[in-house]
Structure 1
Amino acid sequence: MQVIGFLLLTVIHFGVFAEISESEYASMPELFHLDNFDRCMMLGENALYCMFQMQLSPLEAGSNVQIWQTIQKTTSNVKNFRHDLLRYGICVPLSCPNIAQNVTGYNDDSHLREGIDHCYASELKELGLKGYVTQLHCITEKPLYNIDSVDIVVGILLTSLIVIVMYSTIYEGIARHKSKNDYDRIISTKHGKITACFSIFKNWDKLTTYTDMNKSRLSCIDGLRCYYSIYVVMTHSITPSIYNIPSNPRYSEKITEEPKAMLFLNSHQAVQTFFVISGWLLSTNLFPTFEKMSFSFTYMLRRFIRRYIRLTVSLGVIVAITATWLRHSGRGPFWDGWAGTEYRNCRNNWWTNLLYINNYYDVPNMCLSVTWYLAADTQLFLYSLIILGIIWMKKSTVYKVLGASLVIGVLIPGILTYINGYEIILRIYPETLHTSLNLREWAQMGAPGHTSIGGYTIGLIGGYIFYKNKDKKFFTKTYHHLLWWVIILVSPLAVIFSGIILYDVNYTVSPMQAAVYASLAKNIFAFSVCVLIFGLTQNFGWILRDFLLARPLQFLGKLSYCVYLVHVPLMRARVGQMRSPDYLSDGVLLYQAAGDVIASFIFGTILCLFVDMPTAALQELYLAPKETKRKSE
């Protein structure tokens, strides 16, 4: 009966769309428009380029009400843009010359608002409409931002870093041309050890060193990191492009009807992959230690400090650049909205990123919004150290502690969804994308670390099972392999493509059903990733295993953290410099996403060689345990 009901709703849903013909859609005012920005800036002192939103309404005595009815009908569907709200960018002296007699004297934007209203009045009147400007942001030939003391300090620090890296690279590079004994003698000195930490040549050698896949059963993790990093970058590239300023908005409005769109519109659960990997690696690293020594609070504290330093140095560099020089690196109609907003958020809330609390504090104004994951992962790492510490002190509690953590992790999303009455999923539509950070649902269900305890615990359990049974062979029968394939393919795809049904606005569920889905969806995805990793360690996978163990993926997988840090600032810079609405198609989006992936890996490599790997090398030199230092030497 539910299936029949859903089919009827679907027919009704598409019937509503059928009422609006293509000719009716085309009769509405152009939704997005941009004048030539660079031509406007050539006007020098007379340059005045204004971005504005204009709210439409019908004329009181308008003779043509059909267009307004079409606008209302289109706007009433949440899958569509608000066609009663025009988004324009105009060169005032060229498009509205009547109000540009003395643009340098317009210090009061109310005068400009009235002038723009009047400029478009006659054009809208012919359509039976009127409009008034609700938001206005204007740009002149003057720089948007002045260089301040913070910019100068960060510039000096970045320049110093580049000088140190270049000096160290040359110093270590010259030593390479000497005999092996001379090289070892030079590098073994205190000065030599420190400079070697910053040498691009030496760090490149480490980055491109390949390990024997047959000796390391967890080599598949590099492949998973690489492929999922690409997936994350493509998702973050495609989604804003669809809903920013398309020249064919009909494409964006119909995209949620396409099953393939769920791969990036309903893919938030895929981030559980990284939580599972983090939990797995922590578990496999710590449980052997439990067998060798008694509980040590100092050891656990040192683990946290080392991880904090390793993550925070690279993060701090990106936050510093975003809060200072990123805003000076481009210009355009959307620059202040995309790059300027990020700059202001990072100036105000940079400290929350460095304390890894940015996913709880002032979430709507989060600096580098994508770093919610780093905060959540750090919080879950600390949480896991606590529960693993309990296990370390009393090893017989391992099943009870991990089991309790799993139950808690599964229940939390469902309880929060039920109590707050949230929808079954967070739907991304054209108008909601721009306000997603302001949505209470995302701030309480997507970003916080406690909503992903289940995924991280699944990783801990998987790592423990792997550690305890690393020399055993499981699942030797054919049906075991078939079951493995079903779990790793059907489970995550079912979670993602459930959006085909759940994205329909007419599809409603009870609060209890929404709670059950919230509890199970992300944890089912996490479980499938855990089963995937365990199967690969058992030599399952056939061609999939070959793809994940390809040698280049070891190199690319090591870049995943740096790629994650740089990809959003790069995209903000790209979108911020747009000069015209983009024509959208599947091919255009994939081409654009591929470009973002390539750029992210290029800049991620630079960040890795200049910051991340030197940080790791210095940690190994000064903070590593004595046994580790001896092995490295």
Structure 2
Amino acid sequence: MSVLVVLLLISPAFGVIYDLSEEEHSRMPPIFNLDDYTNCLKETDGIYCTVKFAAISDEPSELLTMMQEYSKQYKTHYNHTSFQYGVCVTQKCKSHLGDKTEALTEALEEYLNETFWNEYKLKTQVTAYTCDGLDDGSIAIDTSDIVVGLLIIILLIFNLIGSLGDFFFPKSDWQGKQYFLSFSIKRNWKKLVAPSSTSDHRIDRLRSLNGVKIMPAYAIVLGIEATWYRRFGSGPFWQTISLRIANDCRRNWWRHMLFLNNFTYNSTCFGHSWYIAADMQLFILCLLICVLAKTDGIRRKVLPLLYIIGIMIPPAVTYLLDLEGRFIVSPESTSNFFIQDPTFNELYVRWYTNLAASALGLIMGDLVYRWQLDEAMEKKFQYYKNLRLVYWLLLPLLFALVMSGKYFYMRPYLDPWYTRVLYTLIVPPLCTLFTAVLIVGFVFKFEDAYRSVFEWEGWTVPSRLSYSAYILHFSIIKLYTTTRTSLIFVSSLFIMTTYVSAIILTFLLAIPLWLLVEKPLSQITNVYLQSKEKRKIT
């Protein structure tokens, strides 16, 4: 790691401003500004436009140069030459617009030019805008809305029938009972809050890994996102963010249903679901390997080879495509949902760049299975308990490895190729290895400090809700941010309270999704497979 740190610190940068005093920073125009949205649209024929524009100058400008040089440190700074303003056209642009609403672009540019010239001696160039108030804002119901609405109604009816049947006829034997009882809210609630326990001691060892699943809830939430979600709110950023994402989901929903969405550029639909696609692709690959490698001996040769190949792929991709050493969460790329970030799209979300972790999981799973059958292995783990200090150091070391990526944020350009390649070759494999060793320690009860935290009964319900919460959380955050009609003055306390409230709201909404969709549909699959197995036996 010391070699990496030295390599990361050797390159200078020119023409870049890394920091500004408060006085200098206040000279720059604010990147965001919002007129009063609600009062604007209350006016007769009120029009409110959200405008994206850039600052320009026909002659040398010391202020613009400072803004450009400060923006070059794009990894930690916003682009201070690009702006997004909410403008009440009927209040601010009357003198420029007159009675011609079709001349909005010119009117907005004239108003912004006048404002920026008077305050900053700069001109502006409008690049895009959306407006509320030009029509009634209603969205017509189409076929996709009807299909998703009917599916939701059918699911609710099944839940109603299952719940009533369980309440009035709990002991009766009626046709299709097990299928309908899968939708019993009463039974599913009991399963949600039941203690985490099982009769199989091997499964009980894995209590620390509760809640890993992929379920139909994904399709339901995606369907709502592409249809009815468009009607859930309004605000200065509703059209530019929420409607844009909803329309993208309407175009690309099939990629998500086929688990191909992690191979899509310029898509804002369910950006966080790349993990579901990559996970499914790796699951299919690993399943094929386990089926084709029919003997234990072949598998134990193939899996280490797969792991080595998986370690080599990320540095090779980094070198060939000239990518960052790690995924950079910059202010600008975050606001654009990383849709044009090559490191995110080529290195972070692809299945083959995550192959090493999957292969290591299979290797460790095979080892754990064999060790469980070896009675002497339990005693060996007890014997090695004098190494618990080393084991305890793995978690802080894992945190340090993750934080080591901050050095890639220090410069506004790509570090030398060998630095980036070495980082992707060393750090991610070490992270997965340390995580795997920690998990094996949980399984064999190697120590009690970490394990007692991860096996705390309080995690049982959140772990069962984790997948539904994962699916929902982005939509909730998006709804919160895009329905705001005023700017937020951010503080550490505000960030913390917003973060906690978002988590609480997400898990509260995950409860009905789990009870009404995720658990019932997963149980139907189990009932079907069990009945099929019984028919084979008889």
Asked if TM exceeds 0.5, the reply is yes
In the other structure, the counterpart of 1:153 is 147
Opposite residue 138 of structure 1, the aligned amino acid is C
Matched length: 526
Q: Give the secondary-structure state (helix, strand or coil) at the position aligned to 2:418.
A: helix
In the other structure, the counterpart of 2:502 is 596
**Change in CA separation of 1:160 and 1:508 when aligned onto 2, cut-off 3 Å:** closer
In the other structure, the counterpart of 2:429 is 523
Is the CA contact (8 Å cut-off) linking 1:223 and 1:557 kept in structure 2?
no
Opposite residue 37 of structure 2, the aligned amino acid is F
Q: Does 1:452 align with 2:365?
A: no
Which string of whole-angstrom CA distances, capped at 9 and with x for unpartnered residues, describes residues 343-368 of structure 1? 111111111111111112x3322631
Which string of whole-angstrom CA distances, capped at 9 and with x for unpartnered residues, describes residues 455-495 of structure 1? 011111111111111142233234421221222331x2132
In the other structure, the counterpart of 2:127 is 134
Q: Quick one: distance in 2 between partners of 1:513 and 1:455?
A: 22
In the other structure, the counterpart of 2:409 is 503
Q: Quick one: distance in 1 between partners of 2:140 and 2:465?
A: 34
In the other structure, the counterpart of 2:523 is 617
Opposite residue 604 of structure 1, the aligned amino acid is A
In the other structure, the counterpart of 1:190 is 175
Is the CA contact (8 Å cut-off) linking 1:338 and 1:573 kept in structure 2?
no
Q: Quick one: distance in 2 between partners of 1:37 and 1:485?
A: 53
In the other structure, the counterpart of 1:315 is 218
**Change in CA separation of 1:441 and 1:506 when aligned onto 2, cut-off 3 Å:** closer
Opposite residue 339 of structure 2, the aligned amino acid is L
**Change in CA separation of 1:465 and 1:148 when aligned onto 2, cut-off 3 Å:** same
Q: How far has the Cα of 1:331 moved from its partner?
A: 0.8
Is the CA contact (8 Å cut-off) linking 1:312 and 1:354 kept in structure 2?
no
Q: Which moved more, 1:147-156 or 1:324-333?
A: 147-156
Q: How far has the Cα of 1:625 moved from its partner?
A: 6.5
Q: Map 1:562-601; keep pairs closer than 5 Å.
A: 562-601=468-507
Is the CA contact (8 Å cut-off) linking 2:323 and 2:343 kept in structure 1?
yes
Q: Quick one: distance in 2 between partners of 1:214 and 1:549?
A: 17
Q: Quick one: distance in 2 between partners of 1:447 and 1:15?
A: 31
Q: Quick one: distance in 1 between partners of 2:6 and 2:424?
A: 25
Q: How far has the Cα of 1:164 moved from its partner?
A: 2.1
Q: Does 1:387 align with 2:289?
A: yes
Q: Which moved more, 1:310-319 or 1:323-332?
A: 310-319
**Change in CA separation of 1:17 and 1:511 when aligned onto 2, cut-off 3 Å:** closer
Q: Quick one: distance in 1 between partners of 2:361 and 2:371?
A: 15
Q: Does 1:210 align with 2:207?
A: no
Q: Which moved more, 1:480-489 or 1:598-607?
A: 480-489
In the other structure, the counterpart of 2:48 is 49
Opposite residue 241 of structure 2, the aligned amino acid is W
**Change in CA separation of 1:508 and 1:157 when aligned onto 2, cut-off 3 Å:** closer
Q: Quick one: distance in 2 between partners of 1:494 and 1:144?
A: 51
Q: 2:231 aligns with which of 328, 345, 351?
A: 328
Q: Quick one: distance in 1 between partners of 2:317 and 2:10?
A: 31
Q: How far has the Cα of 1:34 moved from its partner?
A: 0.5
Is the CA contact (8 Å cut-off) linking 2:274 and 2:349 kept in structure 1?
yes
Q: Give the secondary-structure state (helix, strand or coil) at the position aligned to 2:261.
A: coil
Q: Give the secondary-structure state (helix, strand or coil) at the position aligned to 2:78.
A: coil
In the other structure, the counterpart of 1:68 is 64
Is the CA contact (8 Å cut-off) linking 1:409 and 1:452 kept in structure 2?
yes
Q: How far has the Cα of 1:453 moved from its partner?
A: 1.1
Q: Does 1:434 align with 2:335?
A: yes
**Change in CA separation of 1:486 and 1:414 when aligned onto 2, cut-off 3 Å:** same
Q: Quick one: distance in 2 between partners of 1:434 and 1:121?
A: 25
Q: Map 1:365-404; keep pairs closer than 5 Å.
A: 365=267, 367-391=269-293, 393-404=294-305
Q: Does 1:173 align with 2:158?
A: no
Which string of whole-angstrom CA distances, capped at 9 and with x for unpartnered residues, describes residues 61-109 of structure 1? x8xx44334323322332322222221001111222324543xx52x3x
Q: Map 1:102-501; keep pairs closer than 5 Å.
A: 102=99, 105-106=100-101, 108=102, 111-126=103-118, 127-140=120-133, 142-143=136-137, 145-175=139-169, 183-184=170-171, 186=172, 188-212=173-197, 216=201, 219=204, 223=208, 311=214, 313-360=216-263, 362-365=264-267, 367-391=269-293, 393-435=294-336, 436-470=338-372, 471=375, 472-473=377-378, 474-475=380-381, 476-490=383-397, 492-501=398-407
Q: Which moved more, 1:578-587 or 1:72-81?
A: 72-81
Is the CA contact (8 Å cut-off) linking 1:620 and 1:629 kept in structure 2?
no
Q: How far has the Cα of 1:311 moved from its partner?
A: 3.6
Opposite residue 90 of structure 1, the aligned amino acid is V
Task: Give TM-score, length-normalised by structure 1.
Answer: 0.77
Q: Give the secondary-structure state (helix, strand or coil) at the position aligned to 1:132.
A: strand
Opposite residue 343 of structure 2, the aligned amino acid is E
Which string of whole-angstrom CA distances, capped at 9 and with x for unpartnered residues, describes residues 558-601 of structure 1? 11111111111112211111212222222211211111111211
Q: Quick one: distance in 1 between partners of 2:493 and 2:477?
A: 18
Q: Quick one: distance in 2 between partners of 1:129 and 1:144?
A: 38
Q: How far has the Cα of 1:376 moved from its partner?
A: 0.7
Q: How far has the Cα of 1:196 moved from its partner?
A: 0.8
Q: Quick one: distance in 2 between partners of 1:512 and 1:4?
A: 12
Q: Quick one: distance in 2 between partners of 1:224 and 1:496?
A: 21
Is the CA contact (8 Å cut-off) linking 1:338 and 1:575 kept in structure 2?
no
Q: How far has the Cα of 1:523 moved from its partner?
A: 2.2
**Change in CA separation of 1:387 and 1:6 when aligned onto 2, cut-off 3 Å:** closer
C-alpha RMSD of the superposition: 2.9
Is the CA contact (8 Å cut-off) linking 2:73 and 2:412 kept in structure 1?
no
Opposite residue 486 of structure 1, the aligned amino acid is L
**Change in CA separation of 1:363 and 1:123 when aligned onto 2, cut-off 3 Å:** closer
Opposite residue 32 of structure 2, the aligned amino acid is F
Q: Quick one: distance in 1 between partners of 2:412 and 2:200?
A: 53
Which string of whole-angstrom CA distances, capped at 9 and with x for unpartnered residues, describes residues 287-324 of structure 1? xxxxxxxxxxxxxxxxxxxxxxx845222111111110
Q: Quick one: distance in 1 between partners of 2:282 and 2:9?
A: 42
In the other structure, the counterpart of 1:271 is none
Query: Taking every aligned residue pair, what percent have the same amino acid on both sides?
Result: 24
**Change in CA separation of 1:91 and 1:198 when aligned onto 2, cut-off 3 Å:** same
